[in-house]
Structure 1
C-alpha cells in the first residue's frame, strides 16, 4: 500500500507546494474549490496538489464533479 497521504490539510498543501509560493488565502481558496470537508476539516486530494505542481490545474476543471459546489 502506498504510504503517501491521499488527502492533505491546507498546511500540508502549502508545505508540499512551498509556503513561499502559495499563500494561506490562495491555499484555502483551492481547498474550498477542489477539496472536501470532513467535519470541520478542509482537505485537499493529493491529485489536486500534483496537478498544481505540474501546471495542469485547468485539467481538473474538465473533470466531472471537480470544482462543483457541494
Structure 2
C-alpha cells in the first residue's frame, strides 16, 4: 500500500496544487510561513496543503 507523505517538499506542494496555479516563489513563501526547515530543505505539512485546498488559509 502506498502511503501519503506527511511532509511535502516545495516541489511536491506545487505539484499537488497545480504548477500552473502556484509559482515557485509563492510556494517558498508558504513554506517559510507555515512549514519547517530541515537542513537546507523547506517542508510543508500535508495538513497545510489540505487547509489551502479547503480555503481555510487565505492570507499568505
TM-score, normalised relative to structure 2: 0.89
* Equivalence for 1:4: 4
Could you say what secondary structure the match of 1:28 adopts? Answer: helix
* Equivalence for 1:22: 22
In 2, Cα distance between equivalents of 1:51 and 1:22: 15
**Corresponding position: 1:36 with 2:36:** yes
Higher relative contact order, structure no. (Cα contacts within 8 Å, ≥ 6 residues apart): 2
Structure 1 segments of 4+ aligned residues over 4 angstroms from their partners: none
Of structures 1 and 2, the larger Rg is shown by 1
Which runs of 5 or more structure 1 residues have no equivalent in the other structure? 62-70
Q: CA RMSD in A?
A: 1.7
Which runs of 5 or more structure 2 residues have no equivalent in the other structure? none
